[in-house]
C-alpha cells in the first residue's frame, strides 16, 4: 500500500489570486454569443454551412434550432431602422 503524506497547509490552502496578479481590468471582455452568431449567419455561405452541420447531427430538434437561428439572423432586429 502506498504511503500518503499530509497536505502542506502553506501551499494548498492559499487563496488563488490570479485576477489580482494579471489585473482583472485588463482581461479581454467576452462578446455576446447570440449577437456574434447573428452577425456570422447573415453571410449566406456561413448560414448554409451552419444548417448542413446541424443536419449532419441526425436530430430534427438540432436542425430546427439552427433553422431558427438562421431565420432570426435574417430578420430585422428590434429597434433597427431597416
Domain that holds residue 44: 32-76
Residues of the chain with pLDDT under 50: 82
pLDDT score for 30: 73
Answer whether residue 3 is part of any domain. no
The span from the CA of 10 to the CA of 77, in Å, is 54
Sequence length of the chain is 82
Answer whether residue 22 is part of any domain. no
- Looking at the structure of the chain, the number of domains it has is 1
Answer whether residue 59 is part of any domain. yes
The span from the CA of 66 to the CA of 42, in Å, is 13
Answer whether residue 48 is part of any domain. yes
Spatial neighbors of 10 by CB under 8 A, at least 6 apart, are none
Amino acid at each position: 500500500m502506498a504511503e500518503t503524506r499530509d497536505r502542506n497547509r502553506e501551499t494548498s490552502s492559499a487563496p488563488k489570486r490570479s485576477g489580482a496578479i494579471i489585473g482583472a481590468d485588463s482581461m479581454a471582455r467576452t462578446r455576446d454569443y447570440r449577437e456574434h452568431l447573428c452577425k456570422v449567419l447573415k453571410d449566406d455561405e456561413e448560414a448554409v454551412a451552419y444548417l448542413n452541420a446541424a443536419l449532419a447531427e441526425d436530430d430534427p430538434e438540432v436542425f430546427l434550432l439552427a433553422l431558427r437561428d438562421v431565420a432570426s439572423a435574417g430578420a430585422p432586429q428590434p429597434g433597427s431602422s431597416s
